[in-house]
Structure 1
Amino acid sequence: MGNKFEALGRDMSTKILRQAGRAALTPVQADMRQHAGFDAESHDVHMRDSITIRSTTGGRAQVTLRVGPEKKHRMKALAQEWGTVKQVAHPFIRPALEYQTSHVLRLLAAEIRRGIENR
């Protein structure tokens, strides 16, 4: 399977990895959204609504995928995840990743295999 993947070329393999990674991280995104903080009184975009899957290319890795809140909600996410002097921690990022790890790896492998076979 590795030789077939390399034979596709960098552009096509990057596209396959990006699509497979997004599909595999969808359950993590859903879990994070379910457990992220929500302020019913706020009229602004809520942290849970800003949780997205982002991908970048370059560097040492061919594709890097991240799932989490937008930069705008970074401090709020850190406060919920780790707690503060006045706020008890209610983690939602680590548990989503840890709980979904085996499922994500299975989905990732299946999606990469499907991407290679369909090309």
Structure 2
Amino acid sequence: MRFTAEVVFAEPTIRNEIVFLAGDTVTYGEVADKLEMALGRPFSRSEWTVPFLMEELARDPQNMIRKYRAAFAQGRGVAWDKAGTFNQRNAIPVTDVTAWIGANLTLPRSA
């Protein structure tokens, strides 16, 4: 919501242009690593191959989650460098995965 408000009320007014925003780009494995470290416990992992994801999508071609998984698994996801993005140019901070975990998940207590 904050990004939307910042763009809507930007000066000079932004009209008829694409506004690029960026945060961290992480893999599912990196997310699992960060969760394991923060929560102090392991997670089970399974790797889904591109052929498996394409088969799943073929069985349910209107499923947006399956489309998303297949696109990103093939390297067709959308990502760009943070440099030059609206939030970087305007010094608008974003929350990274580690900070989000710390703010939103119950972490184990130290002994």
TM-score (norm. length: structure 2) = 0.24
Greater helix share, 1 or 2?
Answer: 1
TM-score (norm. length: structure 1) = 0.23
Q: Which has the larger radius of gyration?
A: 2
Greater strand share, 1 or 2?
Answer: 1
Structure with more contact order per residue of length (Cα contacts < 8 Å, sep ≥ 6): 2
